Amino acid sequence: MGETLEDAPRPEPREETAQPGNTIALAGAAVYIAFIVFLFWDGLIYAASSWEREEFSYGYIVPPLAILLIWHALRTLPARASGGWWVGVVVTVVAAGLAVVARAGGMPAFSYYGFIVTLLSLALILYGWHGLRRLFFPIAYLFFALPLPNTLYIKVSTAMQHISSELGTNVLRALGYSVFLEGNIIDLGPYQLQVVEACNGLRYLFPLASFAYLVGYIYSGPAWHRVLLFLSVVPITIAINSARIALTGILVNYQGISAAEGFMHAFEGWVIFLVGLALMFLVLQLLLLVTGDLRPFTSRLDLDTILPQKGRLPPTVRRATPALIVGTMAVGLGAAVLVGLPEGAQSVPPRKPLATFPLQIDEWSGREDVIQPAHLEILQVDDYIVADFQGKDRKAPVNLYVAWYDAQDRRAAIHSPSVCMPAGGWEIAQFGTRTVIPEGQDTAIPVNRTVIANGMHRQVVYYWFELRHRQLTNEFRIKLANVWDALTLGRTDGALVRVVTAIRPDEEPEDADARLQAFLGEVVPLLDDYVPN
């Protein structure tokens, strides 16, 4: 008596008996996944290696969470027919081709992205368009297990570091403190906040973005709430880091360097991450208040979505068996091509080590320098020379840097100076591509010419990339050239050549250009022995 319909016990859902179509499709899906794991192995290893870096250590939890999200989406997938299976096959074929291109061009990040695309194409093959709509966001969550491609990551992080540094120093100046900002190096008088320290707060952009995506997926509110929540991560991260810089400056002035260093160490790790989470949840609560909902934001979170639950696969998979067979054959063929692809470092022509590069070149006398181990760990060069050469006129010296790579692969790739210079306190005042003819030479060289400034100091920089029989200035063309030469020559070796000289107070930029071109006239003929074509 009095028992309501809601209170009445609900019957357990019946387990669906295995059907031949389902069994074949699931077996095919298992083979398909095994093939794509092999096909995109470089990308998966690259992603896993990035998790060893502190700012991406959260990546370990992304795949398990993605699996739970995918399982929940499968468990709730409606069993209805929907087209699109053969579109999934086409996407699979394209992705298999891109896997070969990514391996040949030394682009492991794109190999990992290709793995995710093939999972999406498998969802389309098995469940059609309606299934892809349900599975898209759970599978796309895997994108957060890998940082942005290196060039884009450096540009984004450098820009965000600069904004954080500007805001932090502006707060200190507004409070009456003396502070000087030079690029991303913040001079607090007795204490300098170095670039690497200034970016510590920014390392939480990616885990916070990952968490915001996850919260948005299980949030039952309006879609625009989810979008704003995700976008809020950028200003939240910048604000936290700016506050961290300002508080460090205050501590330097009041309690000395040791207290500031202790604060910098303490205000890292979980502390700054939890502050970011608190601000993110505050944004979500404010969005609910704006829409007139006075309940706490936790009432809008469906935690069942990320908890493992019992379920079954929808029966529509048995309809996709022919398309699945073709898709599996496509990834299998791609895997076979990958096995036969030659390794770039195995066919490099003989070359002299750069350690033997002459330090006396006609009337130019050089003094060799070394790169610090921490920087070498980032650059991953196989051979290099960096030296300052002084001409007979005793004016500004010319710095020569040549970085050689036996192969550009998931381990290493050429680093463009355009993304490294701003982090050292230099601002790019001018940038362009031009063709120069070194003094005394007949052959023109395309170079990226940059004028950089740091306070009253200015420098002119020339750099280009030597790739086999090419001299290139564009990073994207490097990737295309690597793909072509890997497939036709079995090589992805190459070098960066960079020369730098200061613009003296009594000089114009054209005088520095003339000095660089005179130096290149002596150096370029020597490069063939160290950078083979």
Q: What is the pLDDT of residue 350?
A: 83
Please identify which residue in the block is written with the tokens 């696969």.
313
**Residue 442 DSSP code:** S
Query: How many whole angstroms separate alpha carbon 501 and alpha carbon 516?
Result: 7
Q: Any idea how long the chain is?
A: 533
Q: What is the pLDDT of residue 366?
A: 86
Query: SS3 for 64?
Result: helix
Model confidence at 28, pLDDT cuts 50, 70, 90, reads: confident
Please identify which residue in the block is written with the tokens 């360097």.
257
pLDDT tens, residue by residue, 246-290: 777 777 666 655 555 555 555 555 677 788 889 999 999 998 888
pLDDT tens, residue by residue, 68-101: 888 888 877 776 666 777 888 899 988 888 888 8
Q: What is the pLDDT of residue 244?
A: 76
Model confidence at 481, pLDDT cuts 50, 70, 90, reads: confident
Percent of the chain with pLDDT over 90: 12
Which of 434, 505, 495, 433 minimizes the C-alpha distance to 465?
A: 495
Say which residues have a Cβ less than 8 Å from residue 236's Cβ, sequence separation at least 6.
208, 276, 279, 280, 283
Which tokens go with 70?
Answer: 């995918």
Q: Residues 114-143: what's their mean pLDDT?
A: 90
Q: Tell me if 181 sits within 8 A of 164, measured CB to CB.
A: no
Least reliable range by pLDDT among 130-134, 175-179, 240-244: 175-179
Please identify which residue in the block is written with the tokens 């070969």.
100
DSSP 467-491: ETTEEE--HHHHHHHHHHHHHHTS-
Burial bucket for residue 12 (CB in 10 Å: 0-12, 13-18, 19+): exposed
Q: Which is more confidently placed, 429 or 48?
A: 48
Q: Tell me if 164 sits within 8 A of 201, measured CB to CB.
A: yes
Q: Name the residue ranges covered by the structural domains of the chain.
A: 20-147+305-343, 150-302, 345-527
pLDDT tens, residue by residue, 55-69: 788 888 999 999 888
Q: Residues 394-400: what's their mean pLDDT?
A: 86
**Residue 487 DSSP code:** H
Q: What is the pLDDT of residue 16?
A: 43
